[in-house]
Amino acid sequence: MNYKKEFITYKLADTLKQSSKITNALFDRYGVKRGLRNADGSGVLVGLTKIGNVVGYERTKDGALKPIPGKLFYRGYDIEDLVHAVMKEGRFGFEETAFLLLSGNLPDRDELSDFREMLYGNMPLTHDSTISIIRQRGNNIMNILARTVLEMYTFDANPDDLSRENAMRQSVELISRFPTVVAYAYNVLRHNEKGRSLIIRHPDRGLSFAENFLYMLKRDYTELEARTLDLLLILQAEHGGGNNSTFTVRVTSSTMTDIYSSIAAGIGSLKGPLHGGANIQVVDMFNHLKENIADRKDTDEIDAYFTRILNREAYNRKGLIYGIGHAVYTVSDPRALLLRELARDLAKEKGRSDEFEFLELLEERAVKTFADVKNNGKTVSSNVDFYSGFVYEMIGLPVEIYTPLFAMARIVGWTAHRNEELNFAGRRIIRPAYKNVLDAAEYVPIAER
């Protein structure tokens, strides 16, 4: 019986290989923008938003793309201004960022205080939700997060109510509970897979969002660790409506489904290695380079090794330098520049300044080598993933939660975009077209096949 199953599976898979084959020439003939990308690499315009704006180039009069320093705007505010204001005042800023993205306005002191109280008050999970996480099996936190979000539907008294008030309530509750779910899920995984004690700490209203997560996950942390995590959460909270997971949330929301189904779909999208897992690859590549570069200050040796990587002769032979390049940013990624500021201080605190300087040199040489080897005129820079994985590692965060941390921040952008999608005047379900390129076939009776 098992032999038959394997045979049928193999046969179906082999048939799929043939039946799904579509040549590039057909895409060109019908003008299909594969991956919703234009020929110049820019994204196809499919919607309008007032939430986030990702800027990496400008169009010249002849329609060509001109690389410019990257900019990221939240509700019209430059992310650099938001981050530097928080750093200058020595306070945590993720909560303010969440309020801004959800409402469209910067909060005053009273509004921010009330919003924080609401966030922290919603952080504790119900007894049933906690037990559910403890009982779940599996070693992928993203999968556990998605299952937990779907289960939240059953504990919501009005899960299908799409009114603005209810949608905002659900948004705040999800933002509040993501750090608790991720922290608990990892502690359970650590208990089940690594034989460690199972410790469940309740969130503390006296701590910030970032501090609460670190407290629930590992209890002990430094102030700089918490502030660096707070910065990472701010930088990853939103990135326009075109990134894959946010677009997934908008597509599913356009069907008028419940928020839990829509956010679970976004988690599934972010879980993919082409989207949310890049920082894990950067850390792996960095560790590989530390072992294979004899002189960490020799630019010729570094350039030669990067050339081998790009030519698929070294590392994982996929021809990629992880953390270099972005779909929109060209000259620079503002998130990477901002993160680098605190990463330097954190490396000094952890006694890892030499590694940080090596990472900075790798960044410089990777960009140059890419330009020399590819020689395609494309301008590339490091992206936020180039530093985020190293920062997570210095904070003492396990690799299993790198992508869940991304989700913990991006849930703000997801809910903001969902609410905008639901409140469009004359809203319509998102339904693009696919061209069928197979000729009609005449049915053949089973006896004649």
pLDDT in tens, 329-385: 999 999 999 999 999 999 999 999 999 999 999 999 999 999 999 988 889 999 999
Q: Tell me whether residue 385 is one of the annotated catalytic residues.
A: yes
Q: Give me the mean pLDDT over the 250-264 stretch.
A: 97
With tokens 């998102």, the residue in question is: 430
Q: Are the C-beta atoms of 288 and 315 separated by less than 8 Å?
A: yes
Angstrom distance (rounded) from CA 315 to CA 370? 16
Q: Tell me whether residue 326 is one of the annotated catalytic residues.
A: yes
Give the predicted TM-score (pTM) of the model.
0.94
Nearest to 392 by CA among 210, 240, 243, 244: 210
Q: Give me the mean pLDDT over the 27-39 stretch.
A: 92
Q: Are the C-beta atoms of 404 and 189 separated by less than 8 Å?
A: no
Q: Which residues contact 445 (CB under 8 A, 6 or more apart)?
A: none
Confidence check: pLDDT of 294 > 80: yes
Of the candidates 230, 326, 333, 417, the residue annotated as catalytic is: 326
Of the candidates 230, 258, 333, 385, the residue annotated as catalytic is: 385
The pLDDT of residue 425 is 67
Angstrom distance (rounded) from CA 126 to CA 387? 36
The tens digit of pLDDT for each residue in 304-318 reads 999 999 999 999 999
What pLDDT band is residue 1 in, cutting at 50, 70 and 90?
low
Angstrom distance (rounded) from CA 70 to CA 335? 9
Q: Are the C-beta atoms of 346 and 391 separated by less than 8 Å?
A: yes
Confidence check: pLDDT of 150 > 90: yes
Distances (CA, A) of 416 to 100, 167, 172, 247: 10, 10, 10, 12
Helix (H, G, I), strand (E, B) or coil at 219: coil
Q: Are the C-beta atoms of 212 and 123 separated by less than 8 Å?
A: yes
Distances (CA, A) of 315 to 132, 199, 297: 40, 38, 20
